[in-house]
Structure 1
Amino acid sequence: MRVAVVADSTCDLPAALCERYGIRIIPVTINFGTESYPDDGQSLPRSVFYARFVRYDPLPTTAAFSVGQAEAVFREALAEADHVIAVHIPRSISSLIESAQQAAAQIGNRQVTVFDTGSLSMGAGWLALIAGELAAAGKAPADILGALEDARARLRVWAGLDTLEHLRRSGRDRSPAV
């Protein structure tokens, strides 16, 4: 059984790794005020994003991909594979999983499995990469999902930030004031 892997752009996987392991990426949308860009690495290059991010007020926002976008990518993947494993960031952070699950339901849940990484950024990216490597090696969906569950249980992501200001402004820093 051939397995295709799909992830969202928040996993921050380099394009070369996605290409090497056939990982399809569904972009989220980045909004700077009234300007919207798909997070595809080309419409808004990272260097431009970060240059604008530090001086833009209010903070940019993101929007989840639509059910239709996910369904289109899943169908494209299923044209080349028998099963799709879709790897996404946690529902506690974003509605991406809900969009993916609705798209999977429209296709047929037996063909698409949506996996909650429980992590962000490259933490989710590492899990997508594990899935991609195992799929490329011809592993079955159950084997890939078992490996993902094991890796998720052991995964820890640490980040060093210059400032917590952006987290505070976005409402994501719930720690007491220092």
Structure 2
Amino acid sequence: MSVKIITDSTAYLSKEYVEKEDITVVPLHYMFDGVEYIEGFKGEFEQYFDKLQKSKSFPTTSQPSAGEFKEAYLKAFEKYDEIIVIVLSSKLSGTYNSAIAAKELLEDRKITIIDSLATVAALKFLIEDAVELAKNGKNSDEIASYIEEKKSKLKVLALPDTLEYLKRGGRISPLQANIGNLINIKPIIQLKDGELTVLEKVRGKNNALNRVVELVEEAHRATICQILCYEDAIKFKELLQTKYPNLNIDIDEIGPVIGSHLGPKAMGICWY
């Protein structure tokens, strides 16, 4: 029984990995300065964030349509018996609803859709596990059971470098952003139960990074996510390794759909 894995672009997988494992990525879209773009793959985001830093406008994002998911399902069934769809949190995007709507158009087919309640590297963890389970002969029910249990163990923290992009995206008021930037406030944002909320507010970037390290507990695997600040991510990795010397920590990228609200120089960590 062969199982196809489908996800969306906010897992920020590499194109090489997607092609190697025959994963289908149904991308989200974003509109910037009047032009619509399809979100790409890891390694393709630098030009976008350079433009975002220089622009006074702010992008809008949109989920894939049900039609795009339906097309992906039909193509998958040409080769596979079952489909597992794992997408970003339904509390961050309507992507999950589009995937469900497409399934209802093909009601007699074996399609399992999972709301990951996650995104970025946390979503990537789930995709990688699903791929390995499928390669080991597990069916879609067995994979879904594993993923549903695993997703509750995922932790995500993010640290914007500035409040400017949270302001532009309407997440905080201009007054809050101006005061926060003036006194160098760094919010530590958590993804909890699929929603982004401010966990703590810390003064100064170094203090905020040290606090994030304190908050990372019982890590078995971790990925640092960054936007145009790879050198800072390396330093952050070194800080984490003082606490977890044997932990293998990857460094990854965040793309336009999620990264626009955090802004260039933002970092985060996903772990379990």
- TM-score (normalizing by structure 2): 0.60
Provide Cα deviations, 1:23-65, integer angstroms capped at 9, x if missing partner.
11011112103101111349x9311111112222221121111
Structure 1 equivalent of residue 155 of structure 2: 156
Q: Tell which deviates more after alignment, 162-171 or 117-126.
A: 162-171
C-alpha separation between the residues in 2 aligned to 1:73 and 1:172? 33
Secondary structure class of the residue paired with 2:13: coil
Aligned-partner Cα distance in 2 for 1:105–1:95: 16
Matches within 5 A, 1:21-100: 21-41=21-41, 45-100=44-99
Structure 1 distance, partners of 2:158, 2:19, is 26
Secondary structure (helix, strand or coil) at the match of 1:158 reads strand
Any idea what SS the aligned residue of 1:54 has?
A: helix
Query: Percent identity among equivalent residues?
Result: 26
Assess if the C-alpha contact under 8 Å between 1:127 and 1:152 holds in 2.
yes
* 1:134 counterpart residue number: 133
CA distance in 1, matches of 2:79, 2:110: 12
* Equivalent residue number for residue 4 of structure 1: 4
Aligned-residue offset at 1:140: 1.0
CA distance in 2, matches of 1:172, 1:91: 18
Structure 1 counterpart of 2:155, which letter? R
Higher mean displacement: 31-40 or 14-23 = 14-23
Between the aligned partners of 2:132 and 2:41, the Cα distance in structure 1 is 22
Deviations 1:77-120 (A, max 9, x none): 11111111111111111110111000011112641111001012
Equivalent pair of 2:13/2:41 in contact (CA under 8 Å): no
Q: In 1, distance between residues paired with 2:171 and 2:23?
A: 29
- How far apart, CA to CA, are the structure 1 residues paired with 2:19 and 2:135? 11
Report how far residue 171 of structure 1 moved. 2.4
Distance in 2 between the 1:137 and 1:39 partners? 31
Instruction: Report the secondary structure of 2:37's partner residue.
Output: strand
Q: Give the counterpart letter for 1:119 in structure 2.
A: A
What are the superposed Cα offsets for residues 1-29 of structure 1, whole Å, 9 maximum, x if unpaired?
11100000011111222223221101111
RMSD: 2.1
Residue of structure 1 equivalent to 2:199: none
Larger relative strand fraction: 2
8 A Cα contact 1:85 1:114, kept in partner: yes
Tell whether the 8 Å contact from 2:29 to 2:37 is kept in structure 1 after alignment. Answer: yes
Which runs of 5 or more structure 1 residues have no equivalent in the other structure?
A: none
> Is this contact kept in 2: 1:21–1:133, CA < 8 A?
no
SS in 1 for 2:64: coil
Instruction: Give the structure 2 partner of residue 15 of structure 1.
Output: 15
Read off the aligned partner of 1:32 and give its amino acid letter: F
Q: CA offset at residue 146 of structure 1? A: 1.4
Q: CA deviation at 1:173?
A: 5.0
Decide whether aligned partners of structure 1 residues 4 and 122 sit closer, same or farther in structure 2, where only a CA change above 3 A counts.
same
Paired with 2:83 and 2:172, the residues of 1 have a C-alpha distance of: 34
* Equivalent-residue separation in structure 1 for 2:108 and 2:17 (angstroms): 27
Show structure 2 runs of 5+ residues with no match.
181-272
TM-score (norm: length of structure 1) = 0.90
